[in-house]
Chains A and B, each alone.
Chain A
């Protein structure tokens, strides 16, 4: 009993000798112009971008790197502008984007039908769960050899592969989004007498939109990667060929600056779709509806 009582410790008293006056730094001061400019996000990022490009340029020029191995930035940019305005690069891009849109649209359509079936019946729901569990981990590009066998060397097989890459990602996310719509929202919808397709369209889709949108983004990312991969390998199949084929062709002809020009375009399109298209969709839907900050 008494063991548990802590001993009292008396510290010796002491006197703090040398405490200086309190000293406050600049609590508030005018920022210099440099600091104010540096605080703008866009400026910093553009400076970084310029820094990267300058490093690249200086590295290649100063060390006299073989342009076949690593061309300087100016060479690559020149090649890109040249092909864009005087060559057929713009048509290749258009070809790729067209195929991508077909595949994406069809994939979304099939996903919509599947998910409707899944909301209508338990059999559909089970089917979609089994199919997505099986096909989602299968890289779409692995289906390409089969697709070429079934649909021949042409756009049809590219679209088949794209549909495969979009369908499962979108279906999986939409389905799980629908399942997580709260019972309260569902009952409100039923209370308004909504049923069948109007119920899905007016209640489930808006309520599950963050999840649907993330499915669409993942689907886009997979589709874009698959398309470039497929074109890199088998792109010339349908006459003109796309952006991936442009890269492959340039690398086969050992025109490395062409490869870089193609990569620039791939990056540009990716940025446009992700930061402009999807960002705007987000702003106009989930952000406006207050579902996501």
Chain B
């Protein structure tokens, strides 16, 4: 019986000092400062500016050695001079040519693999075994073998790039295709789509979010692999004029070796710029025109 709760009667009391209710400003005009501060880009831009100022102040005040952390202004000057005078643009171009070549060939091979995998169960098994094995293998680890097989040249880098692109793209495309709902497949068959037309008009659009994801991961891996490969062996890739121009990674590495630290930072900035350009302009645009417009993915 002890588990029955007792009824508690609280003492009565009178609240004396309530004061009158008051609202705050329910609606008021924002000041100009607040309105500017509401803009997303302004806030982000001012954070960037703040970081730069902090960097500049820190290097000036603490007197850090130029070799450890150069001033921001020096870095900017180095970037300008590298772009204007010293082949930086040519190096970016060299890097991008190799990257695009590797990426394109990789996509083609991935397409063939995925097609085989979608058509037959045997192909699907081969693909899943290969990706399970080779996807966790960092492409850069193959570089020593590639150098042995293809010599010191852009072929070796293209080979490693292929490896870094094929597996994520094929894996994602295949999972995308497998995930296309039976209803959509039947609609396609009802329209009597078959073979290539069926793939292009039905499977690819239906699996596009996943394919795009694969393309993005492939790009990220390829970009990282390329920079790493160039850091190591970039100087050995002769450019078309026969001069040793190398790529962007080589620019960073060579300048570090020469203790030109502002130039190292300038190289890093360029790497960031290229990356931001590809990710935020190219891929975002593709996304806007496809998966978002088709309503397959929100924001």
- Give the distance to chain A from B203, nearest Cβ to Cβ, in Å: 20
Does A111 lie at the interface of the complex (its beta carbon under 8 Å from any beta carbon of B)? no
Q: Assess whether A247 is in contact with B271, with CB atoms less than 8 Å apart.
A: no
Q: Assess whether A142 is in contact with B231, with CB atoms less than 8 Å apart.
A: yes
Interchain CB contact (< 8 A) of A247 among B67, B141, B227? B141
Q: Assess whether B132 is in contact with A126, with CB atoms less than 8 Å apart.
A: no
Interchain CB contact (< 8 A) of B141 among A138, A263, A273? A263
Chain A residues positioned under 8 Å from B48 (CB to CB): 130, 134
With A45-B128, A69-B149, A251-B147 already in contact, the answer to whether A126 and B264 are too (CB < 8 A) is no
Interchain CB contact (< 8 A) of A232 among B67, B68, B143? B143
Q: Which of B7-15, B80-88, B276-284 contacts A (4 or more CB under 8 A)?
A: B276-284
Interchain CB contact (< 8 A) of A143 among B143, B217, B268? B268
Q: Assess whether A126 is in contact with B43, with CB atoms less than 8 Å apart.
A: yes
- Give the distance to chain A from B99, nearest Cβ to Cβ, in Å: 12
Q: Which of B108-116, B235-243, B249-257 contacts A (4 or more CB under 8 A)?
A: B249-257
With A145-B264, A225-B225 already in contact, the answer to whether A232 and B148 are too (CB < 8 A) is no
- Give the distance to chain A from B47, nearest Cβ to Cβ, in Å: 5
Q: How far is the CA of A149 from the CA of B137 in the complex (A)?
A: 29
Q: Which of A23-31, A102-110, A264-272 contacts B (4 or more CB under 8 A)?
A: A264-272
Does B186 lie at the interface of the complex (its beta carbon under 8 Å from any beta carbon of A)? no
Does A288 lie at the interface of the complex (its beta carbon under 8 Å from any beta carbon of B)? no
Q: Assess whether B145 is in contact with A141, with CB atoms less than 8 Å apart.
A: no
CB within 8 Å of A: which B130-173 residues: 132-145, 147-149
Does A146 lie at the interface of the complex (its beta carbon under 8 Å from any beta carbon of B)? yes
User: How many pairs of residues, A versus B, come closer than 8 Å at their CB atoms?
Assistant: 156
CB within 8 Å of B: which A20-65 residues: 41, 44-45, 48-49, 52
Q: Assess whether B136 is in contact with A145, with CB atoms less than 8 Å apart.
A: no
Chain B residues positioned under 8 Å from A143 (CB to CB): 268
Interchain CB contact (< 8 A) of B272 among A69, A126, A137, A150? A137
With A225-B225, A247-B144 already in contact, the answer to whether A138 and B272 are too (CB < 8 A) is yes
What number of A residues sit within 8 Å (CB to CB) of B?
A: 59
Interchain CB contact (< 8 A) of B271 among A126, A139, A228? A139
Does A95 lie at the interface of the complex (its beta carbon under 8 Å from any beta carbon of B)? no
Chain A residues positioned under 8 Å from B139 (CB to CB): 225
Q: How far is the CA of A150 from the CA of B67 in the complex (A)?
A: 9
Q: Assess whether B129 is in contact with A49, with CB atoms less than 8 Å apart.
A: yes
Q: Please, what's the 1-or-0 string for B42-80, where 1 marks a CB less than 8 Å from any CB in chain A?
A: 011001100000000000000000011000000000000
Q: How far is the CA of A123 from the CA of B271 in the complex (A)?
A: 26
Q: How far is the CA of A267 from the CA of B67 in the complex (A)?
A: 39
Q: Please, what's the 1-or-0 string for B259-289, where 1 marks a CB less than 8 Å from any CB in chain A?
A: 0010011011001101110111000000000
CB within 8 Å of B: which A125-155 residues: 126-127, 129-130, 133-146, 148-150
Chain B residues positioned under 8 Å from A269 (CB to CB): 136
Q: Please, what's the 1-or-0 string for A194-229, where 1 marks a CB less than 8 Å from any CB in chain B?
A: 000000000000000000000000100110111011
Does A248 lie at the interface of the complex (its beta carbon under 8 Å from any beta carbon of B)? yes
Chain A residues positioned under 8 Å from B44 (CB to CB): 126, 129-130
B residues adjacent to A (C-beta < 8 A): 40, 43-44, 47-48, 67-68, 122, 125-126, 128-129, 132-145, 147-149, 217, 220-221, 223-225, 227-228, 231-232, 249, 252-253, 256, 261, 264-265, 267-268, 271-272, 274-276, 278-280
> Could you pull out 19 A-B pairs where Cβ atoms are within 8 angstroms?
A41-B125, A44-B122, A49-B133, A127-B47, A135-B272, A137-B276, A138-B271, A142-B231, A150-B68, A224-B136, A224-B138, A225-B224, A229-B138, A229-B140, A256-B145, A259-B144, A263-B137, A263-B141, A275-B132
A residues adjacent to B (C-beta < 8 A): 41, 44-45, 48-49, 52, 68-70, 122-123, 126-127, 129-130, 133-146, 148-150, 218, 221-222, 224-226, 228-229, 232-233, 244, 247-248, 250-251, 256, 259, 262-263, 266-267, 269-271, 273-275
Sample of 12 more A-B contacts, CB < 8 Å, known A52-B129, A137-B278, A222-B220: A45-B125, A122-B43, A126-B43, A134-B272, A141-B224, A142-B231, A146-B261, A225-B221, A229-B224, A232-B140, A232-B143, A267-B133
Q: Which 9 A-B pairs have the closest CB atoms?
A: A270-B136, A137-B275, A251-B144, A145-B256, A225-B138, A139-B224, A229-B228, A229-B140, A141-B228
